[in-house]
Each structure stands twice: as structure tokens, then as C-alpha cells.
Structure 1
Amino acid sequence: MDEQRLDPDQLLTRIKGEKPKESRGRLKIFFGYAAGVGKTYAMLEAAHAAKDAGVDVVAGYIEPHTRPATLELLDGLERLPPLTLSYKGVALREFDLDGAIARRPQLILVDELAHTNAEGCRHRKRYQDIEELLKAGVDVYTTVNVQHIESLNDIVASITGVIVRERVPDSVFDSADQVKLVDIEPDDLIERLSEGKIYASDQAHRALGHFFTRENLVALREIALRRTADRVNRIAERGKPLGADYYTEEHILICLSSSPSNAKVIRTAARMAGAFHGSFTALFVETPGTAELDGENRGRLRENLRLAEQLGAHIATVYGEDIPAQIAEYAKVSGVSKIVIGRSNNRKGLFARRQNLVERLTVLAPNIDIHIIPDNAPPYTTARRWRKLSAGLSGADTLKTFGILAAASLISMLFSRWNFREANIITVYILGVLFVAMCTRSRIYGAAASLLSVLAFNYLFTAPYLTFRFNDPGYYVTFGVMFTASFLTSTLTMRVRSQARQAAMKAYRTEVLLETSQKLLRAETEREAFEQMAGQLIRLLNKTVLLYPLDAAGPGEPGVWTAPGAQGDTARYTAAGERAVAHWVYRNNKHAGATTDTLPGSKCLYLAVRNHDTVFAVVGIAMDDGAPLDVFDRNILIAMLGEFALALEKMREAEQKKRISMQVEQEQLRANLLRAISHDLRTPLTSISGNAGILMGSAEKLGEEKKHQLYTDIYDDAMWLINLVENLLSVTRIENGTMNIRMEPELLDEVIGEALLHLSRRSCEHTIATVQEDDLLMARMDSRLIIQVIINIVDNAVKYTPAGSRITISARREGEMVRVEIADDGGGIPDEAKEKLFQMFYTAQHKRGGDGRRGLGLGLSLCKSIITAHGGTITVRDNLPHGTVFSFTLQAEEVNCHE
């Protein structure tokens, strides 16, 4: 097969280059009941009208008709070149989706909505191409006939005898912004067909004898009119006000199966849900036989599941062997009002007809309406069941069966030699059958062991011995009871094993889901959440997992987590083509890749981690075996991704709240600073300007002592402002996170001495002493910041203690830390003020210092920030009998005597 596929690098470049549009495009469908009613003609007429109104119109793809009137309407419209693909040597013309997105007109015409694209296109169906165009903000005109609507397929097939393979989900039709019904009388359509205006003469003659009969056209026209009216009713339901009293809540339930008629049941239930304006649920009952389904049945089951999803059904899964009981229990719990099922097989039992599914449901759920959909398929036979049983045969289980029966026969022979009664021997064989049922996987071994045990008992322990004949007619009853007991024992044992397996599998999957929720709740960062999620996905699916975090441009560099036992290079999962699929999933918020209809040639299945319309990440699951995920695994996967999306959303909301909180705090800090500066800077500035004015105006009249006092006041006020500005700058650096701390070993004696050189002028009025046990005491610090800490604390002591007070600075080693204490013998600090002393803008009792100024409350707050950044602590306590002691710690450093 010669295919022309897009180069992965080109596809990635195109997808990345697509600029998302703010508004979604509008879809208008030209709807008809048969070919030839004039859908394309009406669409082209509407396109010309739009072009005349100034709209940028492009004919994206128009089906090549032979109708001259239709072809003439293409004149004057810009045409998009088709995409040419080669398939088995035949050139196929398809709609060029990437070319349309690159051209990005206001309106594009795309004929045949239900068309199936050739291999090599991005999507399997054309309606998926149109959905991507709408998401890109391009308006679309398209056409479709009534027989292509998914839920109507069975009705049309029953009328015309033709099964249409190309179908469109009802959701596409119902979500269209406009639907224009193109309608003509059936007699006029037949006349047009007879005149050769639709098909060539030979083809038209055949069509008139089959599909285009008057009866068929009348019926199709009625269906088209009703479907258009139903769409109007749905729009009215969506737009009605809340609390309207004309809404009837209905919940329709169907059961998914691999039956050929299940698709008809699904479509019927979808139509009923639409007619009753109710919800629609598709329930899958997973039984022990589900795992034994062959490829054909598995394929039908997947197709039915996909059909139910397309028709808007909520997919649910339950475990159990008793299907009617599971359906009835789910229906009661979920508030189901109607159950729609297909015709059941009426298989007969040994003496009487068994109750079928409908009869069991009627008994188990008597208050629920049950609708039976007839079909023409023949009843099921037991041949398929026996094929399943025979498919479970294996050499190992066969050897186990014969070995256990041989051991039971040997034990029975010993019992016979010891003159045990026959009832004991029969019990041994029944026990052997029980062991066979426990040790083998297929039910056929239990049944075979039941029969073989009867034959072995007859052959070895009934006269005449070593023959299959017996003299006593009472052995008929003995053999019958023995076989029945053995068969029931094996059947019940196998059933218990199956139920145990099901319970274990359900418990395991549920445990994975619950554990995922707990682990995501405990994750503190997105990276940790990604790692936890990848581990849980591998645990559930045992497949290699890729997680794409999002950055400004979309999915970033993926993380790859390999499943245990996985082989092969993981680089193939991160190639350019695979990344392009991840980008498409992110931009379109849909699933794509392997086992889907969009870019199915990918190595991985890609799913959006989303909550509503927001995508938080993209997950890729390696599908090396090519088999789709099981129904229950898929439901658990979707639930886990939902939990993941919620966790990421909470983390981002928390981060956003944190940023907002920081902004609020910064704004509050600015407001407090401005308020404090506006009140407390006025005094020193007024003093400086006033004293300077006196000196400038009448310096010659002032004595030297008065001049010296004025100079001193100006100097003190200026130094107070300098210290204030230094503290403000430090606070700003801390709040902005721009403070660079350079930790180096420093001698505390030198740091304290440097700090004492920069104290305020009034420090000379106090006695300041230093006490150190070791002159070589060292600590790791940023010396310029610790000097500022010592200056702020000592200046506070100078400011708030009377002249002549003693201030002592001491330092000593305490284990791995060095403690520095600054003590004074002033009036002390009240206990209620100690707890708030290190808060920004707090001053104890708002009292003024000895210089007559009230501080801004920045100094001690700054000291705490600096010491905390050094990994230490700062505290305050009383200095008995009176005074205050400020204490802080730093990391000790050993003295290197060799330097």
C-alpha cells in the first residue's frame, strides 16, 4: 500500500503554528432526505450570498457532481486544492484540513459531512475535520442526508433494505448552529432522477427500482421532517428557564454486549432519550466469560461501546455473573425509569424453559418499564459456548485432572482393601472432583472429572470388577447421585473461583483509584503529582506512560515512565510525530492516537487531562499490542485522569492564591511604609530644614555653643534618616527576594567591633562593654547583615534606656551554634509586647525614644528576617533584676589553626 502521509516535523510545525481563535466557528448543515434534493446547490447559493455580503468564502471540498447547474455555482468561488493520496495505486482526492486551517477563511464549504476519509488523513471521519475547523474559529457549511444520522440508521435500513456504513453522531447534527431542511416533493425527485439530472441513465434506472421508490422517499421525507422538528424541540428544552414545570425527567438504560443486534438497541434507546429529554446510560456487565470473548465478539463490543459514546451515553461498568440481577440492582440505585434491551434467547432447560433476561428483569425490577427491541437474528446456540470451553483446554490442566483422579482411585483402592463402605469411596471421588475444579481453569475439566469418576468407580469397585458392567440395578441410582454431586461440586467451585477473581480484580482497580486520589492529595508540587500519577497508571494498565506538562507554547518535554518488563527504545514514543499528536490533543481537548479515529497510526493513545474546557496536561499510553483498553480499565482511567485534573487545578489555584496573597501583602507593606513615612519623617525633616534656616539667616548673631547645638541636631536627624533608609532598603530586598546572603566564616570579635564603630552619637552617653569567652570564636555569616543586626539592637537599647545605662554584648559557644546576647539594665519591655516585638511596624506601647522620635518598627523585624535567613533564631527576655536581653544564634565554625 502506497500512502502519502504528512511528515511528522511538518505536522508538528503546523499544529504549533495554529493560532487559537477566541470564538468558535458556526456550523450550518443543509439537510435532505435523499440524494438529489438540492443540498449542495442550496449550500452554494448561500455561499454566494455570503460572499456578496463581504464574507471571505472558500470552497474547501465539493463532491464532484455531474449536474451542470451545481457546477456553474462553483464559478466565482475560491477553491481549496484537494489533498491527493495514493491507495493501492489509485489516486484519491480528499479534503485538505491543514490547508484549510492555514488559509483560515471566514467561511468554508465542505460537502458530505458523513464521508469516511482515506488512510493518511488526520481524522477517520470528515465530521471530525469539520469539528477541528469550528474549534479554529472557521464557519462551515456542509451537507448530509437523513440516512447518515446514527440513531436513524436502523429505521432507514428497515425501510429501504440498505445499510448505510457512513454515519454521523447525532450530537454533531444537534449541536449545529443552523440546520436548513432542503425539501422537494418525492414525485419531483423521481422526475429529476428519470431525466438524468441526478445519476446517469443506467444508474438512475437501477435506483428507481430499489432505493428511489415512491414509498421509500415518502417515508424518508417524513423521517427527515420529524428529525428536524426533534432538533428544534431539543433547542427549546435547552433554552427554557430553570424551574419550568413541563420537563419530565427520564433515565434510559441499555446493556452493552457483543450481540450483533446491540447496535440497534443503542440507537433506539438514544432516540427514546432524545424524545423524552432524559439521560442515557449504557451499562456493561463484566462476567467471567468477558475475558474469553474471541476477536470478533471483542471487536463488536468495542464498536457498540464507541457507538454508545457517540450517541451521548454515560458508560458504566459493574461486575457479576448474574446479569439480570446486576442490571436490576444498578437500575434501582441509579433511578432508571426505562430499560431497553434486545430479544433474549429462549433456551430450554432439561425439563422446562428457563426464564430469559426479560422475565428475570420483570421479576427483579417490577417498577421499571422494560422495552424489547425485536431483531431478525437467529437465537444463540450452545455451540459457541462449547467452543469457549474447548478453547480453555491445556495440556497442564489435562495432566492435573488425570493425576488427581488417579490419586483418588489409589486412595479408594486402599479404602476398599480396608473394607471401607462404598459411601466413603464415593466421597473420595467427589473430593477429587473438587480438587480438579480448584486446580484447573476451564469448567470442562470439572464436568469431565465428574464423568470419569463415575466410570472409574464402576470399573474398579462394582462387580464384575474391571469392566463397565454391573449386576445390581441399584447402581443406576448410585451412579446418578455420584455424578450429580460431583458435577454440582465442580460447578459451584468454579463459580466461587470466578467470583473471587472478579472480586479481586474489582478490589484491585478500586484500590488503585482510591490510592490515586490519596497520593494526589498528598502531593505538594506538580512534579510530585506527575510522578504519582504515572506510577498509578502503570499499576493499572502495565503500559509505558508519557506525561506532557504544559508551558507557554503547549505540551513541553514529556516525562517517560517505563512499565516493568517493557522492551524497546522509548525514543519512538517521543518522536516528532508523537509530539504532534500530543499538541493536537492539547489544542482540541480530545482523545487521539492509537485505537482512535484521529491520527490512529501513532504509537500511543493520547488523552487530555482536563476539567471542563481547561487542559492541564496530556497523557500518552503506549499501545504496543494494538488492542484497545478494556471497558472497565478505560472507565477507571478516565476517573483517574479526572482526579489528576482536579489535583492540578487545586495546585494552580493555590499557587495563584499565594501570588495574590503576596501581592496583597506587598501592597499592604507599601501602604504601611508610605503611611509611616508620611507621619514620622516629617519631624526630622522639619528639624533639619528649620535649623538650617536659622543658621543661614542669623548665624552671626548666634554664639558658638548655640551653633554647635544646631549642627548636632542636624547631624542626629540626618543619621536617623540614613539608618531608616538603610532599613527600608533591606526590608525591600527581603520582600522582593533579592537579598543575597554570602555566608563566610567570620570572627565575632571583629564583627562586634565593626558594629560598635557605627553606633549613633548618643551611644557615648551609655557604658557599652563586650564579653567573650574565646577571642577566636567564629561563626558562618554575612558580616554586613549581622553588623546591621547588632547596630539595630544596640541603637534600640541606647534609644529606650536612660543615659548612664550599661549595655553588654556577649558571645559564647553552645554546641553547634554560637549565641550572641545584647543586654541592658533599662526599664525593660512589657510581657504583652514581647510577642509582637518582631512584627513589622510594631513599637512597644508606641512610646518615643530618648531622642524624642517614635520608631517605625522596622529594625527588629529586619533583624528577625536576617537571622532566620542565616538559619538561626532571635528571642527577647527580661534581664533580672531589670532590663532586657536580646539573643540570637548563628552556625558555629571551627578555627583552622594551619592557615
Structure 2
Amino acid sequence: MATSPMESAFARTQITGKTPGSRGKLKIFIGYAPGTGKTYAMLKAGHAAQEDGVDVVAGYVNPHARPDTAALLKGLEMLPHTGNANDGLGFQEFELDHALQRKPGLILVDDLAHTNAAGNRHKRRYQDVEELLRAGIHVYTTMNVQQIESLADTVASITGMSVKERIPDSVFECADQVEFVDIEPETLIVRFLKGKIYSDRETEQTNAHLFTNEKLNALREMALQQTAAQLNRIALQIGAKNSRNEFSGKDHILVCLSSSASNKKVIRTAARMAEVFHGQFTALFVETPETEPVTKKNKIGLRENLRLAEQLGAKIATVYGDDISGQIAEYAKTSHVSKIVLGRSPRQKRGFAKSTVVDKLIDLVPNIETYIIPYSEPVFHKKSAIYLKSPAFSLADMGKTASILAACTLVGAWFNHLGFREANIITVYILGVLLNATVTKGRLYSAICSIMSVIVFNFFFTEPYYSLRAYDPGYPVTFLVMLVASFVMSTLTMRVREQAMQSAQKAYRTEVLLETSRKLQQATDSSAIIDETAIQLVKLLDRTIIFYSVRHEGLSEPLIFPKRGSAVDPQIYTGENEHAVAEWVYQNNKRAGATTETFSDAHCLYHAVRGGDSVFAVAAIVMDREDPLDVFEQSLTIAMLGECALALEKERLNDQQKEIFMQIRQEQLRANLLRQISHDLRTPLTSISGNAGILIGNSGMLSEEQRTSLYTDIYDDAMWLILLVENLLSISRMDNGTINLNLQAELMEEVIAEALLHVNRSKDNHIIQTVLEDEWIMARMDTRLIVQVLINLVDNAIKYTHTGSHITISARRDNDRVVVEVSDDGPGIAEEAKAKLFEMFYTADNIRGDGHRGLGLGLSLCKSIVSAHGGTIGVRDRFPQGTVFYFTLQSEEVSVYE
């Protein structure tokens, strides 16, 4: 299917319109079989983009020994490859780091579903392409429709062979453009017969079955459907962006997970349904006591199915319970599931149940559509079954079994001596079997105890005694009933114990999760949040946890939280290679490391602690020589890291809010300061300039008295300005912490006298007196600063009291403190104003105060100075009228020498 000129223009616009930091665009050239010309079409499109001025390079192109395709490589920059030839034809692996370093506008990468050679960063080439896109590089690539994951079963039914190299549906669905490269099946068959598709004879023979009209037409139809679906998907996305309304499906598809290989077919079917119905997709795993002891093969199968469900876009959920159908039904009801997809084995029923899990589920949720996909194999093979694997032998458990049998025999002998009937003795042995099932591990010892109980009972307590024969014809029935009862009781006891252990484990995990939430809420900063999260992860997983916090757009030094009773070698888990994996996770916001397909050789599993597109930290779980995390542990780990990310994001927002508040506060202070200064400086400056102008222009016409008056006014205004500047400088030094206190013992009488020499000249219009309890009162102070405090308090009293008012400065000892008071008999201060007097820029609304000449800095400065001396400052009313300002200083004793 050729591309129209309009589509070509649109593609060029997408490439040339790249903005810094944006995600690259992906275009896929899709075919329905090898040889349709995908690589040829990709190279042609690359040349067209290059002619339009786009920086195009060929990252990896396999010409498949076709001359016309190889000819198109001329004129294109080829990036170097790495590794050994992987197919004997001389073609090497795509080098991702070279491409990221080169960072072209458009890169051509052939064979999207290719599996990389061992040692590469990613296992699959589509992961390389995703990293290129995240780096803002546009990509052209190729693939066949058979390589879409959800179509694997359908393709296998058409061709008779399963395609090994596949890509998740999400990769195909995220393509910004899809071009279907078409050719008639008859033409393709002719090309195959002429040997123009495969250069390798063995590969040609292996794939010969594919090139038939029936199979090629079926694959062609499938490719057309997928292309049309993707084009429709792109149109919906564009429409959603234009309407600013995201599309949301109403259906919720639920698929049930198991370890069976057939479960992959169920997952793919559910994924296709979710895509068709535009619905949510959830994969549910029900963990029961029977799924706990599973074989290694089952664990691997379960992890593969879990990974497949994640790749196909499923949200993973895990529930506990013995009743599988009941757990599925309960989850479906609470999560508003509309369709359930699950597998069904024709051979499998649970215990003595008359109906299968599927039948019971249908009865429990008759209003939910249930789709059944036949299984071909059982779900789990229990490791504990004797016929599957020989159980481990324990000498201690065998000793317990023998001791219980001996005790039961002794009690039975006592009962026999007392003349009790045989039924009572049988009850003793059944009780022994129950006790044995409780104190031993594994079903083997319960089975041994049940069999040996029958044998010992027959030997000691049936006629003929001390023989395994029985005279009474009813004894065999008694033995059989006793054996069956023992087996049933031991089985039920073991199941109850397993359920109790499972409940305890579930309760412990739930407690850890709740404790994590509570502690994260109580954490005071980001370091505490990371510490609490790591400690809780160690408790949950019993593994060593390593955290890398994000500092200044990079990772900090690792914080190691070892599991209980283990010593961790930092060089192994935090060396250069491991740190590189953590850096990659931080840069790409993706999971990597052990048990993943990216940096799979790493010793740790790395998770990004993220909130949206932001990564706040990287958490590493040590997996070296440890079993992979099970489904529930993985879900809880992701949940805990999600809570950690929320807490870190909240902490960051709080810091940003505090910073914004401080900036607003600073802007308000600056605005107030500028407004007050511009307003209050205008009056004295106008007075100074006016008086100076009079002296300059009329000096000969003025009398000596008039000139003296003008000089005095200029001096007073200048001194007011000097005091204002001193206050501003002192406050700035106090706030910045740059002021150094020179503390010495000083006489209060001398300090007060020094302050009175520098107060406002208007003091002559008031009656100021000093009252000292003792002329030898001394205090520890920085004299210069305390003098400034006294000047401000006295000037404040002069400013806000009437002419002729009485102002008193007093000092007295109060234990180890010196209390200094400045009182007046003015109109006083309102109660509501007292709480704000010592705030910066606050001025009391007093009719006697000069409201045009006060920044409200004096009292604020006094408070800062007194607080720096370790004292307190305050204000109270004076009886019967007036105000008292007081502050305290550290007292000093006077030493007198003869």
C-alpha cells in the first residue's frame, strides 16, 4: 500500500517539527510475510526525508543480500555495529550507545522484533527503539504482522508454526504512523521460487511451508486489519487531543493467571478483547495454599505469563483465598468487571467438588459475561505430592512421629488394662495422628503415622495379640475405617495449618503495608521517607535494599539497608556497573536489572520511585542468588514504592510551597520597604532641600537666629535619616546573621547616659529622668547595640507622647537578670496593637505620632537585638496612665579590689 503525497508531507512535518526534549515519532513499515519489500520501502522513505533536509542515518539495515535494497544504502550515513555476526552473513548488532551519542533527526532500524545478542543492554530491539524515542530521535522500522504478540496463537493456527520473535501490542499501538507494504501473494510466491527472498538455503527450506496462496492471503488480511485498526486508533487519539477529552472505555476485561503454558493463549485473547472493546484490562492471580508449594517450572511459567500480561497492558492484581471461584467473583463484583476470560482444563476439578471452578464461577456471577478458553494441561503441579517428587527426610520429624506412636501405644495399653473397648483405643491413635500433623512438616509423616497406627493397633490390641493377623472378620473393616479416618483428619489438619500460615503471612504483609503508610505520613523530610521505605521493604521481602536518592538532577551515593543477619559487600552491589544501571533507570523512568530484559546480568532489580514523569529516587532489590519476587511481593513492592513517591512528591511540593511563600513574603517586605522609604524619606529630604535653598538664596536677608533655626532643622532631619539608615543596616545584619556580638560587662548608668546623648533633640520638650536601684548595676551586653535599643525606645516615647510628658528610664536586678524599663505617661497603646508592635513595618495609629515619619523598624530592631543577647522584650500599661517598654539582660557581679 503506497503512501499518498499528503501522508508523505505529514511524515516530513512530524520529523522536522521536533522540539527539544520531546519524544521521538515512530513509523512502522509492516508486511504480511518476508520479502514484501519493507526494508526497501523504509530506505526509500529515508532518502525522501534526507532530501527534505532531515539528518538521516542508518542505524541497522539488513539488505538480505538483495542488490536493489543494498543499492539504497548508498548516500546514507551508516552507524558502526557491534558484536559478532549472528547469522553467518556478516551482519552485526545495532549499537544503541553510538546512536544516542550521534542523535540524528531520523534513524532507520530494521527488524523491530529482533532478539539482541547476549551482553547487550536490552534483550529485544524494540526496547532499543523505545530508548531512542525517549531520547527525542525519530525512528523508521520494519516488522511482519506475525510478530504482534496477541496474534501469536492465530498465526500459529494459520501457518502451523509459532513465531519466536514477537513484540508487545503496546509497541505497535504507540506508532505515530503505520505503512502497509503490500505485494500480491502470487508475485511473492514467484519471488520465493526464484530464490530472491532468502539467501540461506536452510532458512528457505524451513519457511517454504509459508508460501502458499491460502496462508499468505490469510496473513495479508490480518495485516490489513491491524493497519486499519492502528490508523483508526491514531485518528481517535488526534480527535481526543483536539477536543481535549480523553477516550475512556466502559468495559472492564478480567483475565485469570496461572502457570500453564496454555494461559498465554487466554491472556492474548483477553488483550484482543480489551483492544476491540476499548476497555480496561486486568490480570488476576488467585493464590491458594495449593499454589504455594509449586515446582520451579511452574514458577518460571507464572512469571512468564505475568510478564506477558504486563506487556499487553494489563494491570496486575493478586488475591488470597482457598476458594478460587469465590475470590474471582468477589473481585469481579467490587471492580465492576464486565467480561471474564479464563481457561478450563477438561481434566481438572478441585477435590471432591461436583463442579469445576468455571462452573461455580458462572453460578456466582451470572450477570457477567464469561469466556472460556480450553486448557491442554493442568494449572499447577504440587511439589509436595509424593508421586511427583521425593519429600525431604527430617530426622527430627521422624523422631516426633515415633514418640507420638509410642505415647499412643502406652495410653492404649493403659486403656486396655482398665477394660476400655477397642473404639476408645482407636480414638487415641486418631488423636495421635492429628497431633502429629500439627507438630511435623510435610504430609509424609502424617501418612506414616496413619499407616503405623493401624499396624501397631493390630499388633498390640487385636487377637491374636503380638501378631498382624486378625481372627474377627470385622477387623479388616475396622482397620480400613481407622486408616481412612486418620488420612482424612491428618489432611484436614495440614490444610488448616497451611491456611493459618498463609493468613499469618497475609496479615504480616498487610501490617507492613499499613505501617509503611503510617510512617511515611510521619516522616519529616525526604531522607526520613527513603529510610522508612527501605526499612519496610527489608521487612517485607527479607532482602537487602539499596536506595539512590535524586540530588541536583543526578543520583546521590547509595544508601544500603542490609537484610537481617547479612553482611553486604558494597563493591558487588554498588560498583560501577550497578551504578550505571541505576543511572539508566533514573534517566529512562523504567524498571531494569535482574529478572528483566534490560541489564539482565545485574545483581539487583531496579525500580524507579516515580510520580508521573518525575523520578524521585531509584530503589534496588538485591536478587543475587535469591529467588525472583512472586506476584504478590512484586505488587506490594510497587505499591510501597508508589506510596514513597507520593510522600516524596508531597515533600517536594511542600518545599516548593515554602519557597514560594518565602519569595512572596520577601516581595511583600521589599514592596513595603520601598513604599515606606519613598514615602517617609520625602518629608525630611524636602525639608533639608528647602531649608538649604533658603540659606543659599537668602543668606544675606536672614538674621542669625533664623539661620540657626534652619541649620537646626537641617541637622535634625539629617540625624533622623542617619538613624533610619542605621536601623536598616542593623536589621539586615541581624537577619543575615553577619553581626558579631562583642559581649562585655558594662555599667547600666553609663550605657543609659550614652544613649541620652544621641536621642531626638525634641527631648528638651519632655522631662526625662533616670532611676537606678543601684548605681553599680552591671549587665553583659554589646554596648553599641544596647545603646541603639535605648535610643529607639526613648525616641518612640518622645514621638508618641505630648509635650511636657514624663519619661523614666529605670534599671533593677531580678535574680540573675537586669530589667531595663522605659516608661511614659502618654495616652497608652491599644490592646490589639500590643501584639503587633514588634513586627516589622508596623506603626501604631496614634494621633500624636508623626504618622509620616516612621517605618516601623525601631521596635522590630530592638526585639532582634535583645533576642540576640538572650533576653526578652515586651510592653505593658503604666498605672494610672501611659506605657512601659521593658527588656532583660544577663546580670554581672561587681568585683571590688582594695
SS at match of 1:567: coil
Per-residue deviation at 1:472?
Answer: 3.0
Q: What is the letter of the counterpart of residue 569 of structure 1? A: D
- Write out per-residue CA displacement over residues 61-114 of structure 1, whole angstroms, 9 at most, x where no aligned residue: 112411111111111111111112489999972101111111111111110101
Residue equivalent to 1:473: 473
Residue equivalent to 1:101: 100
Q: What is the letter of the counterpart of residue 97 of structure 2? A: D
SS at match of 1:137: coil
Per-residue deviation at 1:470?
Answer: 2.4
Inter-partner Cα distance in structure 1 for 2:593 and 2:407: 55
Q: What is the letter of the counterpart of residue 344 of structure 1? A: S
Query: Would the alpha carbon gap of residues 347 and 602 (structure 1) be closer, same or farther in structure 2, given more than 3 Å must change?
Result: closer
- Write out per-residue CA displacement over residues 128-162 of structure 1, whole angstroms, 9 at most, x where no aligned residue: 11111111111111111111111111111122221
Per-residue deviation at 1:441?
Answer: 2.2
SS at match of 2:386: helix
Q: What is the letter of the counterpart of residue 69 of structure 2? A: T
Q: Does structure 1 residue 258 correspond to structure 2 residue 259?
A: yes
Per-residue deviation at 1:327?
Answer: 1.4
Inter-partner Cα distance in structure 2 for 1:777 and 1:592: 71
Is 690-699 or 712-721 further displaced after alignment?
Answer: 690-699
Q: What is the letter of the counterpart of residue 516 of structure 1? A: T
Is 528-537 or 202-211 further displaced after alignment?
Answer: 202-211
Residue equivalent to 1:458: 458
Contact 1:819 1:888 in 2 (8 A): yes
SS at match of 1:71: helix
Query: Would the alpha carbon gap of residues 534 and 208 (structure 1) be closer, same or farther in structure 2, given more than 3 Å must change?
Result: closer
Inter-partner Cα distance in structure 2 for 1:897 and 1:637: 74
Residue equivalent to 2:3: none
Inter-partner Cα distance in structure 2 for 1:326 and 1:743: 76
Output aligned runs, 1:795-806, within 5 Å.
795-801=795-801, 802-803=803-804, 805-806=806-807
Residue equivalent to 2:12: none
Q: Does structure 1 residue 284 correspond to structure 2 residue 251?
A: no
SS at match of 2:205: helix
Inter-partner Cα distance in structure 2 for 1:629 and 1:893: 70
SS at match of 1:93: coil
Contact 2:800 2:846 in 1 (8 A): no
SS at match of 2:887: strand
Inter-partner Cα distance in structure 1 for 2:689 and 2:200: 109
Q: Does structure 1 residue 231 correspond to structure 2 residue 230?
A: yes
Inter-partner Cα distance in structure 1 for 2:84 and 2:818: 79
Q: What is the letter of the counterpart of residue 686 of structure 1? A: T
Query: Would the alpha carbon gap of residues 44 and 676 (structure 1) be closer, same or farther in structure 2, given more than 3 Å must change?
Result: same
Gaps of at least 5 residues in structure 1 are 1-18
Residue equivalent to 1:340: 341
Contact 2:845 2:851 in 1 (8 A): no
Residue equivalent to 1:10: none
Query: Would the alpha carbon gap of residues 567 and 479 (structure 1) be closer, same or farther in structure 2, given more than 3 Å must change?
Result: same
The alignment covers a number of residue pairs equal to 875
Inter-partner Cα distance in structure 2 for 1:326 and 1:393: 35
Output aligned runs, 1:550-629, within 5 Å.
550-629=550-629
SS at match of 1:316: strand
Is 612-621 or 463-472 further displaced after alignment?
Answer: 463-472
Query: Would the alpha carbon gap of residues 643 and 388 (structure 1) be closer, same or farther in structure 2, given more than 3 Å must change?
Result: farther
Per-residue deviation at 1:819?
Answer: 4.2
Output aligned runs, 1:193-592, within 5 Å.
193-200=192-199, 202-203=201-202, 206-207=205-206, 209-239=208-238, 249-347=250-348, 354-377=354-377, 385-387=385-387, 390-391=390-391, 393-592=393-592
Output aligned runs, 1:727-738, within 5 Å.
727-733=727-733, 737-738=736-737
Q: What is the letter of the counterpart of residue 548 of structure 1? A: Y
Contact 1:544 1:622 in 2 (8 A): yes
Inter-partner Cα distance in structure 2 for 1:783 and 1:593: 66
Residue equivalent to 1:72: 71
Query: Would the alpha carbon gap of residues 853 and 50 (structure 1) be closer, same or farther in structure 2, given more than 3 Å must change?
Result: closer
Gaps of at least 5 residues in structure 2 are 1-17
Residue equivalent to 2:672: 672
Inter-partner Cα distance in structure 2 for 1:837 and 1:755: 22
Inter-partner Cα distance in structure 2 for 1:648 and 1:358: 44
Residue equivalent to 2:191: 192
Q: What is the letter of the counterpart of residue 837 of structure 1? A: L
With normalisation by structure 1, the TM-score equals 0.91
Query: Would the alpha carbon gap of residues 573 and 671 (structure 1) be closer, same or farther in structure 2, given more than 3 Å must change?
Result: same
Inter-partner Cα distance in structure 1 for 2:85 and 2:783: 76
Per-residue deviation at 1:453?
Answer: 2.1
Is 635-644 or 554-563 further displaced after alignment?
Answer: 554-563
Inter-partner Cα distance in structure 1 for 2:525 and 2:291: 40
Is 478-487 or 67-76 further displaced after alignment?
Answer: 478-487
SS at match of 2:210: coil
- Write out per-residue CA displacement over residues 381-421 of structure 1, whole angstroms, 9 at most, x where no aligned residue: 88983356743553322222222222122122122222233
Is 120-129 or 207-216 further displaced after alignment?
Answer: 207-216
Residue equivalent to 1:14: none
Query: Would the alpha carbon gap of residues 663 and 220 (structure 1) be closer, same or farther in structure 2, given more than 3 Å must change?
Result: same
SS at match of 1:628: coil
Query: Would the alpha carbon gap of residues 791 and 459 (structure 1) be closer, same or farther in structure 2, given more than 3 Å must change?
Result: farther
Query: Would the alpha carbon gap of residues 208 and 644 (structure 1) be closer, same or farther in structure 2, given more than 3 Å must change?
Result: closer
Query: Would the alpha carbon gap of residues 246 and 526 (structure 1) be closer, same or farther in structure 2, given more than 3 Å must change?
Result: closer
Query: Would the alpha carbon gap of residues 742 and 391 (structure 1) be closer, same or farther in structure 2, given more than 3 Å must change?
Result: farther
Per-residue deviation at 1:479?
Answer: 3.5
SS at match of 2:292: helix
SS at match of 2:303: helix
Per-residue deviation at 1:642?
Answer: 1.0
- Write out per-residue CA displacement over residues 862-898 of structure 1, whole angstroms, 9 at most, x where no aligned residue: 3234444555432211122322222334566789999
Q: What is the letter of the counterpart of residue 807 of structure 2? A: R
Output aligned runs, 1:887-898, within 5 Å.
887-890=886-889
Inter-partner Cα distance in structure 2 for 1:104 and 1:798: 75
Is 631-640 or 690-699 further displaced after alignment?
Answer: 690-699
Inter-partner Cα distance in structure 1 for 2:806 and 2:246: 86
Inter-partner Cα distance in structure 2 for 1:741 and 1:501: 67
Contact 1:811 1:818 in 2 (8 A): yes
Q: What is the letter of the counterpart of residue 879 of structure 1? A: R
Inter-partner Cα distance in structure 2 for 1:376 and 1:622: 37
Contact 1:190 1:208 in 2 (8 A): no
Per-residue deviation at 1:477?
Answer: 4.8
Contact 1:104 1:138 in 2 (8 A): yes
Inter-partner Cα distance in structure 2 for 1:167 and 1:118: 16
Contact 2:85 2:93 in 1 (8 A): no
Residue equivalent to 2:11: none
Residue equivalent to 1:11: none
Is 501-510 or 88-97 further displaced after alignment?
Answer: 88-97
Inter-partner Cα distance in structure 2 for 1:349 and 1:80: 59
Query: Would the alpha carbon gap of residues 393 and 266 (structure 1) be closer, same or farther in structure 2, given more than 3 Å must change?
Result: farther
Q: What is the letter of the counterpart of residue 367 of structure 1? A: N
Q: What is the letter of the counterpart of residue 666 of structure 1? A: Q
Residue equivalent to 1:5: none
Query: Would the alpha carbon gap of residues 774 and 641 (structure 1) be closer, same or farther in structure 2, given more than 3 Å must change?
Result: farther
Per-residue deviation at 1:811?
Answer: 4.5
Contact 1:405 1:449 in 2 (8 A): yes
SS at match of 1:119: coil
With normalisation by structure 2, the TM-score equals 0.91
Inter-partner Cα distance in structure 2 for 1:334 and 1:109: 44
Inter-partner Cα distance in structure 2 for 1:157 and 1:243: 41
Contact 1:433 1:449 in 2 (8 A): yes
Residue equivalent to 1:858: 857
- Write out per-residue CA displacement over residues 319-363 of structure 1, whole angstroms, 9 at most, x where no aligned residue: 11222221121111111122211222435799x874222112122
- Write out per-residue CA displacement over residues 485-510 of structure 1, whole angstroms, 9 at most, x where no aligned residue: 43333223222222221222112112
Inter-partner Cα distance in structure 2 for 1:867 and 1:656: 33
Contact 1:106 1:138 in 2 (8 A): yes
Inter-partner Cα distance in structure 2 for 1:197 and 1:896: 113
Inter-partner Cα distance in structure 2 for 1:308 and 1:745: 77
Contact 1:430 1:486 in 2 (8 A): yes
- Write out per-residue CA displacement over residues 716-750 of structure 1, whole angstroms, 9 at most, x where no aligned residue: 11111111122233344556x45445474544636
Is 762-771 or 286-295 further displaced after alignment?
Answer: 762-771
